[in-house]
Structure 1
């Protein structure tokens, strides 16, 4: 029971403390809002209202001022007293038994206080804006009037810089000044809202006029002086160049100059009407076409300098190529009596002669156009450069042809020496075979030796012809060298086999009396050697028989033979 009582007491204490804290919080908030109300009341706008009221206001500006004045009065006379009364009620509720309603009271007071503060801010902003516009417009009247006087003075004193545009510029300035007069009238009347709109238009129009006045002198000078002077300079240079014998491909100078003169006059008319963006577009086109004419004149003048310098050089090059080709043709004619020219040397030389003749024909044609004062020097320059390249290529081909035929005599001498060497080798091979004192030679070897001998004789006959084909000679030489190498190999095999067969048969005779099989093998080997001239078979027969009786004996005899042969060689 005691615990229950204690619990109830604790709860009551907690509730009491919560109520006390809540009341104090709400009273604290009410006190803060009271201070804010006092601050707003002290924020007096009466002086600013009086200052703006002294201004001469009309139109929208007057309407906005009146609305701000009424809103200020409403705040002072209605909103502030209402907030004060609501705050008093909220504080009383917080202290009394209606403390639970205090929160709603405080929220309502806070909303009314914010509304009053917002209205004051709006009033102050409206008054400040009217004052600023009034000051800005007064200053704008002074600044713009000074600026227009300056612009008019510039147009008056420097009217020559603006050419045909002067009337249009003065007209635009007058129109702007008329608008400025209206702006000044609105400013004096205090209609600052409408004056502000007009001020924006005035500034834009003034800026545009200033930009035109800044741009026109350069555009006018470009069309009135620079382009005209350039066109006159081109006309003079063109007439002089034609008098000096210059010609131009697709010569449209006269027509183009006429069109450009008209384009310049048209552009001056565009300047008169202040169509400056179009003027700039036309200026770019005119400048591009004028530069094109200058480039064409310069191209022909530079080309003439090149032609004057290179004309004689190419003439000498043509004559040199002609002489070189004639010398080459004469040499081919001489060589054709002794050699078959099988690589198109004559045809290639004739073809080079045709190319030289064609170059000379074109060159003479260019020279004639110069004499006739019909020369387009840029085209002649291109021709001369092409002649230079073509003649250089011809010279390289002439040199290659000359080098190829210059070796014919040397090739013949080398081939003759090789033929003599081959003939000597055949005699040496024949003597080596004879020195062996063999009973005979196999038909295969004899036929191969005879074939190589006939090849040598055929080459000799070819070399003795009145007109030699060095291609045929070289082909035969290659075949003979190959067959000669084969013959050397066959000869070396024949000598080794025959000498080894004799040595092995002689060594095997020591077993003939005691070994019937060896005696039979010796007999067979001797028949293959002396009757059939099959020295390789003879060596194989006796070597196999000896290995049966004395293994390793043949290998020993063979090794000694090749060692002695190496020492001898």
Structure 2
């Protein structure tokens, strides 16, 4: 029983403590909300609203301000008083035990305070923005007023520099001044939203007028005097050159000058309509055409001294080419009596002669044109340059032909010398083999010998022709050189094998009692005497001798070649 009583007392104490803590916490929060609500009344929003009423606002600006003032009144006259009553009620209810209701009322009060705070911030920001716009518009009035005064001064003081566009420019300025008056009226009335729309139009129109005032004077200067002065200069230059017998081919320079003057008039009319894009395009085209006409005159003036200078050079080059071609054809004709010319050298030389003749005809045509004044110096200079290039190529081609044949006599002499050496080599090889008194020669060696002999004989026949084909002879020389070197090597091997085989057969006589050696000697002697296979006979004896006297063959071979074995 005592324990139950103690438990009840403890529970009561806990409940009392919890109630006390809730009351204290809630009371502090309510006091905080009251202080923040009081701070809202000290922001001076009422003063800002009152000051805003003194601004000259109309139209959309006034409607915006009225909406902000209405929002302020709602907060000041309804929301904050309601909030204070609710806070008083929370302070009263917190002494009771309806915790849920008290908590709900506290949260409601916090939400009301947040809403009021946001709305007052919105009111402040809105009024500040209206003040800013009001100040900007007033400043814009002053800025635009000064700008229009400057534009008016420029149009009045420099009206001649705008040519026929001055009327349009002054009309544009008048339109802008009307818009400016409208903007000023709206700004002074405080209808800043409507004034902003007019200000945007004014800004665009003013920028366009400023740009026109900047770009039109140089465009008009070109149309008024720049282009015409240049055309006069071109006409004077053309007449002076024509008087000096300059020819301009198919170019109708006076006609082009007249056409450009017509384009200048059309561009001037476009300028009167302030069509700056069209005027800019046409003026650029006129400028390009004038540059082209200057280039035509300059081209002919520069071409004349070049023509005069190249006339003598071309004549000298023609004379040289003709002499060179004549000498080449004479030399080719002479050489063709003794040599076959396999690459059309005569035809090529004659073709080059024809080309020279064509150059001479073109040269004469240009000379006649110079005398009769029927062609422009630039065309003649072009012809001369092409003819000089042609003659340069002809000279190179003629030199190449001459270089390809001028060595033919020396080549023939060298070929005959080599033929004689080849013939002597064959006779030497033949005498050396005959001097060995061999029983015969192997068939493969004889076949090769006769092949080489026929080649040398064929070479001699080619050299004895009335017209020598040096190209074919050169190929034969290369082939014979290789074949006779091979024959010489085969002859040396044959001679060495035969002599060594004879020495081995003689040396083997000391082993004639040896049956194997006797058989080998008989077989080797048969190969030597009957089949003329001297290398095989030598190999047979070397193998047999190595079995009865190791090292004997190597010793005999070293003695033959005059060397000492390294084994």
TM category, shorter: 0.7 to 0.9
- Which residue does the alignment assign to 1:397? 397
Show the 5 A alignment for 1:31-42.
Answer: 31-42=31-42
Cα RMSD, aligned residues only: 4.1
Q: Which moved more, 1:75-84 or 1:18-27?
A: 75-84
Q: Which moved more, 1:123-132 or 1:76-85?
A: 123-132
- Which residue does the alignment assign to 2:198? 198
Which whole-Å CA distance do the structure 1 matches of 2:519 and 2:123 have between them?
153
- Which residue does the alignment assign to 2:561? 563
Whether 2:161 is the aligned partner of 1:155: answer no
Contact 1:248 1:376 in 2 (8 A): yes
Flag the 1:132–1:498 CA change in 2: closer, same or farther, 3 A: closer
Contact 1:500 1:539 in 2 (8 A): no
- Which residue does the alignment assign to 2:214? 214
Q: Tell me the number of residue pairs that the alignment of Structure 1 and Structure 2 aligns.
A: 564
Deviations 1:146-197 (A, max 9, x none): 3323322221111112111111111121222223333334444454443343
Deviations 1:270-325 (A, max 9, x none): 22222223333333333344444444544454444544443433332232222222
Contact 1:325 1:349 in 2 (8 A): yes
Which whole-Å CA distance do the structure 2 matches of 1:77 and 1:325 have between them?
122
Show the 5 A alignment for 1:148-187.
Answer: 148-187=148-187
Show the 5 A alignment for 1:260-271.
Answer: 260-271=260-271
SS at 2:412 equivalent: helix
Which whole-Å CA distance do the structure 1 matches of 2:562 and 2:70 have between them?
146
- Which residue does the alignment assign to 1:321? 321
Show the 5 A alignment for 1:41-440.
Answer: 41-45=41-45, 47-54=47-54, 57-65=57-65, 68-69=68-69, 71-125=71-125, 127-247=127-247, 251=251, 253-436=253-436
Which whole-Å CA distance do the structure 2 matches of 1:529 and 1:179 have between them?
134
Deviations 1:407-434 (A, max 9, x none): 1121122122223323433443444345
- Which residue does the alignment assign to 1:24? 24
SS at 2:337 equivalent: coil
Flag the 1:4–1:346 CA change in 2: closer, same or farther, 3 A: farther
Which whole-Å CA distance do the structure 2 matches of 1:382 and 1:49 have between them?
90
Contact 2:504 2:538 in 1 (8 A): no
Contact 1:497 1:535 in 2 (8 A): no
Which whole-Å CA distance do the structure 2 matches of 1:118 and 1:494 have between them?
126
Flag the 1:82–1:497 CA change in 2: closer, same or farther, 3 A: closer
Contact 2:426 2:453 in 1 (8 A): yes
Which whole-Å CA distance do the structure 1 matches of 2:91 and 2:545 have between them?
146
Deviations 1:376-407 (A, max 9, x none): 45554444444344333333332222222221
Question: What is the CA distance between 1:440 and its match in structure 2?
Answer: 7.1
Q: Which runs of 5+ in 2 are unaligned?
A: none
Flag the 1:93–1:243 CA change in 2: closer, same or farther, 3 A: farther
Which whole-Å CA distance do the structure 1 matches of 2:552 and 2:56 have between them?
149
Q: Which moved more, 1:429-438 or 1:262-271?
A: 429-438
Flag the 1:33–1:247 CA change in 2: closer, same or farther, 3 A: farther
Q: Which runs of 5+ in 1 are unaligned?
A: none
Question: What is the CA distance between 1:49 and its match in structure 2?
Answer: 4.8
Contact 1:249 1:376 in 2 (8 A): yes
Deviations 1:89-127 (A, max 9, x none): 121112334443222222333344344444544554555
- Which residue does the alignment assign to 1:536? 534
Q: Which moved more, 1:152-161 or 1:419-428?
A: 419-428
Contact 1:176 1:206 in 2 (8 A): yes
Deviations 1:476-500 (A, max 9, x none): 5445545544554454455445544
Flag the 1:307–1:121 CA change in 2: closer, same or farther, 3 A: same
Deviations 1:517-545 (A, max 9, x none): 98898889878877x69473995699489
Contact 1:546 1:554 in 2 (8 A): no
SS at 1:95 equivalent: coil
SS at 2:154 equivalent: helix
Flag the 1:209–1:336 CA change in 2: closer, same or farther, 3 A: closer
Which whole-Å CA distance do the structure 2 matches of 1:436 and 1:491 have between them?
12
Which whole-Å CA distance do the structure 2 matches of 1:327 and 1:33 have between them?
125
Contact 1:303 1:377 in 2 (8 A): yes
